[in-house]
Structure 1
Amino acid sequence: MDTPQNTALTRALTELPGPLPARGVIHIVIPHTDRFTVVGNHLAQHAGLSTVAVGLAVRIQSLPQGTEIGIKALAARFPEGEKLIAAALRELEAHGYLRRAVTNLPNGRIVTRTVFCNQPTALLRPRVVAQRPAPPQTSPPAQDPAPEPPAPEAAAAPQAPALPDVQQEQEPEAPAPLEQEPEAPAPAPQDHAPFVARVPPPTAPRQPPPPLPQPRELTAELDRAATALLSDLRRHARQLVLSENDIRQLAPAVAAWLERDTHPDTIRHTLTNDLPQPLRHPAKLLKHRLTVLLPPPLPGADDLAAPARPRIAVTPFQTCDGCERAFRAPTPGHCRDCRNAHAHGPAQAAA
């Protein structure tokens, strides 16, 4: 009763669109309106950087301009030690995120200036200087001609007095010409190279899935047992609710398992064990397991018997009739020395 329950997190999970994944992280994305830093995936998922280096890079990127980020300054600010921070800074420097350069100040002092780049790969791209379009040339406004001096007769003529009761009609003013809207300037060329996809499109043809196993002979008894086993799966796993069409398609594969002397409890355990959550396609999962996990046929009694060792013919020992020496030969007789002696004896006598 004293365990706190995070009802806000539970409510946020129910509001996520689409089905939730069975494993792995579930993201609840709430847009930031203040106090946030943009971090690229090239840094957050960098395969060559340690977790300490990635975290330190994110912290450095979130600090304001001019903040000291030396080893001692970072060790005083964060819980990691100086050795761990120094190793992380070396990693960032090796991958181009950090650069430390020695600079001479005007007063003669030598200081180390640290520069952090949030995207070092962008510095390697060719940069194109954006050219501003030239302002449109406007003609100077036309000057009104100077008024001519009045004629002497008009100047001498007395002006007629204005009638008090009659109002002079004013001519309506001509409508002012509509101002033309200024043309939108042409878009400036981009200051970076166009994006080039590094992952080539898949070109290898996808292999078709293996077919369902089929028995050598689908008898009525095998078909009845396979249909009963598939229909009974929902008693052991509530997710495995199959339609009649699914059972009709999967029954030959179960019959192939039964034909290979597989116990029904073994088949049921294979099909219901460690089911994914949530299970959206039960028939596809059973089809995959029945195809991939098909056991081989049981070996026969002759296959389990130990193989007979090959008999090696051994030449027996014989006793030489001349010198009584033992030697190997298939039949009794003389040894090699006695045979040579008997062969040389007649030859010398003939000579």
Structure 2
Amino acid sequence: MDTHQNTALTRALAEVPGPLPTSGVIHITLPHTDRFTVVGNHLAQHPDLSCTAVGIAVRIQSLPQGTEVSIKALAARCKEGEKRIAAALRELEAHGYLERFRDRLPGKKVITRTVFCNQPAALVHPRRPAAEAHPRPAASAPVRVPAVIPSAPVCVPAVIPVQAPAPEASVAPPVLLPPPAPSAPLFVPRVPPPTAPKTPRRPLPQPSELTPELDRAATAFLSDLHRHAPQFFLSEDDVRRLVPGVAAWLERAARPDAIRSALTDDPPQPLHRPAKLLTHRLTELLPPAPPGVDDLAALARPRVTVTPFQTCDDCDRAFRSPTPGHCRDCREVRAEHAEHAQAAA
């Protein structure tokens, strides 16, 4: 059979100006007007990335904001399997194009965020503004700017020659212009590089004493968890590893139904590692220890001191006073009698 020919490409090839190369690729470049993505040569010709990683990066870069780009979602869109896609994503992470991290929403739901940067080198080496890299000359004296301007600030002032004025004007001496002051970078790296140290995870909570009763209760709770939430089907090793965390919750007077609700409500979809999610929630959502007897006694103490009632020694009237004695009226009468007696004397 004859080889199938693309007549449209043949006609376009005839319109390519100039002599055609004898070997290698021949580009027929047509301008895009819609549905296109700009891809830098630093990605398309990356020397250390595989072609699968470059293709996955271009596919992710062409997707709208908020599109699911997990391994399973990409496998549903692409012909590559999950293993090749996972290896390509690890390559992109190692070279700074991609980063995946856990984030907690206000409702205590933990999700995985994927951040893709189309030019990671700009985050590490920010560029200077064009207006500062090429300063404009003053309007009164046009100057000739050299063709090459150093990107780093120099220590000595640069001498920029002044253009010769009209014959009737006087010749001005050369103008010394100070070097431009260093400016703030255009791009501030907001995503840490892949080599940045990660915060160590908190250990699984432990009870003050893992008694046989606590051990049996925690084991029964974890073994029965899949009946209430089928996604949380645990192996025997997972149960033994998570028993101290559940025992710590039970020791703090948490009810089993409250623990089950805190651990299994609103899990991520799909849930690949239930034991890892349970470890995270047992650690981060640990309730406080119940108050002791002394703490409750302190709460029961009255905060306002009540002045007791006293009985007046003269009129038997009740009045409030920290010490026994006389009421206010009797004290005033006694004071008047004392004044009269002193005056009579």
Do these two structures clear the TM 0.5 threshold for a shared fold by scoring above it? no
TM-score under structure 1 normalisation? 0.39
Bigger Rg, which one: 1
TM-score under structure 2 normalisation? 0.39
